[in-house]
Amino acid sequence: MDIVMLLRALAFIPICIYIFFITFDMLRRLRKRDLVSSMLFLRFENVVLWIKYSALAIFTGLIAAASIFLYYALDMEEFRVLGAVLEVAFLAMFGYSLRMLDHAMGG
């Protein structure tokens, strides 16, 4: 068994569980539309942070996908390891950006 892929899978599990629960909580709170829209207006700086961290997460995900592609194209082990690390970083940044949106919604 490959140790890098095992570590990546073990890192994915808690991050994905966190993202699942925070998304479920945000969807539950979205039922109160007037309250959520006023919270987003009042906490605009957190909305801006959410946008910045989302863009950074997307950029990291693109680099991870490109390095995985380069691994398959060039068969260089370094690209596979880099892609695995960047995938975990992508999920962590995406979870943090969701936390910023959750905080902007009053969570």
Domain ranges, residue 84:
3-104
Confidence check: pLDDT of 40 > 80? no
The whole-model pTM stands at 0.73
Q: Give the separation between CA 22 and CA 11, rounded to whole angstroms.
A: 17
pLDDT in tens, 41-85: 667 787 788 888 888 888 888 898 888 888 888 888 888 889 888
Q: What pLDDT digit, counting tens, does each position of 77-107 carry? A: 888 889 888 988 998 888 888 888 888 777 6
- The greatest distance separating any two alpha carbons of the chain, rounded to the nearest whole angstrom, comes to 53
Q: Which two tokens stand for residue 82?
A: 């880099």
Q: How many domains does the chain have?
A: 1
31 falls in which pLDDT band (50, 70, 90)?
Answer: confident
